[in-house]
Structure 1
């Protein structure tokens, strides 16, 4: 056979430049297929979340907007993981590495901000609507700085199954990503422990007379915390095997293990799917996703042609009886301030 003939074996050998593919080329095919599968699952999870957010109009409150932004970021993060199969050194590889670092960081910052926002709402009992511009500045600005530092210094390049910081700059890998990642995960875990503890105390407390609105708020807070508390857990799970693999790469850069690389590729791209899993823990969301609920929601989104138009009144005369009608007890708007 001509040595210049391109065969599937040669293609996979070129694609997995960080594996010793001379004798074990099947490993490259497994890594590539697993990477495509996990990225596809993550993209499907993001599409599902975005569809449900659109369908159920979950984008009005600040917390809902933050979860929507996290979903969009997770979608682009999944695109970064699946971007291309060949990773030669060059501008395309650098772009993938920058894209991956940026959206990984953006997803992490949004999860931290969701935790912070919940802490301020429940523990400090603060209204955080005015902080929305600051949240966006942090969620898009901090990742820009963290992703651009290795790019400016020329530290991006082939790094296993995708492009990232090369093996020659191990300290940057841990300084830019893994040390801040696990520090923030443990801080979020402590924050949620504090939130759950105080919430349980308030749920079990009794403030005298029964107040329906307060009791409804208690139940609402418990339901709100229940799915969000899993964010640090899922981020810890999907980041554990990448950390172990990168530690092995640091000590044995020329001898990557297939098993660790496989677990790395299997878990790292699953941010979108893990976010969808946490999002799906909301009982209210699932209760609205029954066949009848979906049908009603689709009718509301697609078939509701109600429009508010200007009403031009004509000459209207009120009789004395109309003005003195004491039987009308309908209340259209109510404010507690009116009773003071």
Structure 2
């Protein structure tokens, strides 16, 4: 996101000012094309992920709801990258910059909270369902604060292929995004290292006679950890090249490197697509996305209106055989209830 600082491309001057060349310079055209393509792929990835969540009803447990919220944040973040190519200084540019800051922070917050929730469930063995409102407050409230600070300070403006914090406020770029981003990524990696260690130790410590519930829990632990552990890696990969490019630009502001700039715009908008790939690592999800599985799920979502309700049986009184007063005409052999007091001849064969 603070990855948003590639060279300025001005329509008013018909110049690609980042490379100090004409607007039809192939380098500028490549940067804008790559930025548009990666943002579009990321947006499509989010849409597909939201469709799969709806189709397979993956929104009931707290962990599933958190992944849904992460997808929503990444979806709106991708929209910001495809809003347009460049803007003149003004309200629209400031709005895009605020939008990017808010939803980048929101997506990062949800990744951190998913990690925290798994840590509390597995390592601390705590139930966290009652934290749902708190999670929403943090994931939507903290980004609002972080995105409004540059807004109130007047630090938003043109910052290359998209609007963000301007070139004259480099300290704000690192202080409000890069430093917190990589600090949180480091903490998440530490949390997942602890989670994996505890999970492996706990699974190896389970011994004795066969217990189906215990075996099911072992499989569940492995399935829960497998996809979620990749979310910090996603943010590390898509943020590494933007950080390198921004560091280079901070030291050599008038000497940009085309390859670094290209890698910058290639990776910065990819949060949504990367999250979709991580979501797809769930084997159970892939198992249900076969052609027949999709057809059954669509029928269930669109056609099946059957309602399953809880059955409440009435009181039942068991009678000894000598009180039942059966006659020879009672030829029904379907015994619905069994009592030890029933005579053998009265039971079903």
User: TM-score, normalising length from structure 1?
Assistant: 0.87
Shift of 1:23: 8.0
Alpha-carbon distance between aligned partners in 2 of 1:124 and 1:132, rounded to the nearest angstrom? 17
Q: How does 1:127-142 map to 2 (within 5 A)?
A: 127-142=127-142
Aligned to 2:337: 328
Q: How does 1:89-128 map to 2 (within 5 A)?
A: 89-128=89-128
Q: Paired residues, what number?
A: 317
**What is the alpha-carbon root mean square deviation over aligned residues?**
2.7
Q: How does 1:197-216 map to 2 (within 5 A)?
A: 197-216=197-216
Alpha-carbon distance between aligned partners in 1 of 2:59 and 2:318, rounded to the nearest angstrom? 48
Alpha-carbon distance between aligned partners in 1 of 2:297 and 2:335, rounded to the nearest angstrom? 40
User: TM-score, normalising length from structure 2?
Assistant: 0.85
Deviations 1:174-218 (A, max 9, x none): 000000000000100010000001101111112433321121011
Alpha-carbon distance between aligned partners in 2 of 1:165 and 1:301, rounded to the nearest angstrom? 44
8 A Cα contact 1:44 1:273, kept in partner: yes
Secondary structure in structure 2 of the residue aligned to 1:269: coil
Structure with the greater alpha carbon radius of gyration: 2
Gaps of 5+ in 2: 1-8, 325-333, 339-349
Cα gap change, 1:151 to 1:37, in 2 (>3 Å): same
Aligned to 1:79: 79
Cα gap change, 1:228 to 1:10, in 2 (>3 Å): closer
Alpha-carbon distance between aligned partners in 2 of 1:205 and 1:10, rounded to the nearest angstrom? 63
Cα gap change, 1:319 to 1:146, in 2 (>3 Å): closer
Q: Which runs of 4+ in 1 moved over 3 A?
A: 9-19, 307-311, 316-327
Deviations 1:259-303 (A, max 9, x none): 111111000000000000100100000001011111110110011
Cα gap change, 1:10 to 1:81, in 2 (>3 Å): closer
Deviations 1:297-317 (A, max 9, x none): 011001102247999xxxx99
Alpha-carbon distance between aligned partners in 2 of 1:10 and 1:283, rounded to the nearest angstrom? 47
Cα gap change, 1:125 to 1:105, in 2 (>3 Å): same
Gaps of 5+ in 1: 1-8, 330-340
Alpha-carbon distance between aligned partners in 1 of 2:179 and 2:315, rounded to the nearest angstrom? 75
Cα gap change, 1:15 to 1:154, in 2 (>3 Å): farther
Deviations 1:49-78 (A, max 9, x none): 101000000000000000000000000000
8 A Cα contact 1:157 1:165, kept in partner: yes
Alpha-carbon distance between aligned partners in 2 of 1:99 and 1:155, rounded to the nearest angstrom? 14
Shift of 1:170: 0.7
8 A Cα contact 1:156 1:164, kept in partner: yes
